[in-house]
């Protein structure tokens, strides 16, 4: 069985969200993923629910939405989430107890076996990498504790490149479907400076779909990577997304 999985950091409701969401919805219709992992869902404006409704209205696609709020003071503003065409058998979450970051897992039954799909967003790149190493170690321990899953996929913004220790730790158990640059686009507020003006555009890969040895990649690439036709400074997000067609057998 082959499923199309995608992941995208939404950048909350910031930087022209009402215009950006139209780009996301249009490019979602082109991509049509089976499972779509989301970082930085903005809870007060319910950006995840808006995308769910847009898919139903514009694609005639029925996605279920599951969300996990971040911890502590960020629990009212941000969430990780998943839009899925498939029935969730079970879901759970992990609070890293570190910088308000969390992980979410959704379990699916694929031809009599379980697939666990994890969604997480590690602490920002300006924080020392040892914090992300701590989070990755907890994530891997949690994944190992759920050993009855035949297939494991991890999606999200890891805020670290492949040469950093936190990602090298992740590579001990998983491999990425791609390593193309995913951040940052020239996204900006009207009249403001671009996101992270001190960094090159698309200068680093920090968003991933991770797979273990039980999963095969049929195809993969970047998505949500087209600016508005009439505005080269308006992109779906300050990140581009990642997609992969994965075979579970």
Structural domains in the chain plus CATH codes = 2-248 (3.60.10.10)
Strand order in 35-42's β-sheet? 64-69, 78-84, 35-42, 2-9, 241-248, 215-223
Residue 24 has pLDDT above 90, yes or no: yes
> Taking residues 16-28, what's their average pLDDT?
98
pLDDT digits (tens, 9 = 90+) for 93-129: 999 999 999 999 999 999 999 999 999 999 999 899 9
- Which DSSP string corresponds to 152-191? EEEEEE-SS-TTSHHHHHHTTT-EES-----B------TT
pLDDT digits (tens, 9 = 90+) for 124-179: 998 999 999 999 999 999 999 999 999 999 999 999 999 999 999 999 999 999 99
Token digits of residue 84: 């899925």
- Provide the pLDDT for residue 123: 97
Q: Which residues pair with 52 in a beta bridge?
A: none
Residue 50 has pLDDT above 90, yes or no: yes
Percent of the chain exceeding pLDDT 90 equals 92
> Taking residues 214-229, what's their average pLDDT?
97
- Provide the pLDDT for residue 158: 98
> Taking residues 52-68, what's their average pLDDT?
97
Token digits of residue 240: 């581009």
- Provide the pLDDT for residue 49: 98
- Provide the pLDDT for residue 194: 87
> Taking residues 204-217, what's their average pLDDT?
97
pLDDT digits (tens, 9 = 90+) for 191-210: 888 888 888 889 899 999 99
Q: What's the mean pLDDT when you consider all of the chain?
A: 96
- Provide the pLDDT for residue 197: 85
Please tell me the distance from the alpha carbon of residue 87 to that of residue 109, in angstroms, as a whole number: 8
Q: Provide the 10 A C-beta neighbour count for residue 125.
A: 18
- Whether pTM exceeds 0.85: yes
The alpha-helical segments, DSSP class H, found in the chain are 17-31, 47-59, 129-145, 165-170
């Amino acid at each position: 069985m082959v499923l199309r999985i995608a992941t995208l950091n939404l950048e909350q409701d910031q930087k022209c969200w009402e215009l950006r969401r139209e780009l996301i919805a249009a490019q979602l219709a082109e991509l049509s993923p089976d499972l779509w992992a989301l970082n930085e869902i903005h809870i007060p404006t319910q950006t995840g629910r808006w995308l769910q409704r847009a898919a139903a209205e514009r694609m005639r696609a029925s996605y279920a939405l599951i969300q996990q709020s971040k911890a502590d003071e960020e629990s009212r503003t941000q969430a990780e989430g998943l839009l899925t065409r498939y029935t969730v058998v079970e879901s759970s979450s992990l609070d890293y107890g570190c910088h308000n970051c969390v992980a979410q897992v959704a379990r699916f039954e694929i031809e009599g076996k379980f697939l666990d799909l994890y969604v997480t967003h590690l602490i920002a790149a300006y924080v020392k990498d040892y914090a992300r190493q701590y989070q990755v170690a907890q994530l891997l321990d949690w994944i190992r504790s759920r050993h009855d899953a035949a297939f494991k996929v991890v999606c999200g913004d890891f805020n670290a490149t492949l040469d950093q220790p936190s990602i090298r730790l992740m590579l001990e158990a998983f491999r990425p479907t791609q390593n193309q640059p995913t951040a940052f686009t020239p996204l900006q507020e009207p009249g403001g400076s671009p996101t992270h003006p001190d960094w090159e555009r698309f200068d680093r890969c920090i968003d991933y779909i991770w797979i273990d040895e039980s999963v095969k990649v049929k195809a993969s690439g970047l998505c949500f990577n087209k600016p508005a036709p009439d505005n080269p400074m308006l992109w779906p997000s300050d990140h581009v997304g990642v997609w992969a067609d994965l075979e579970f057998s």
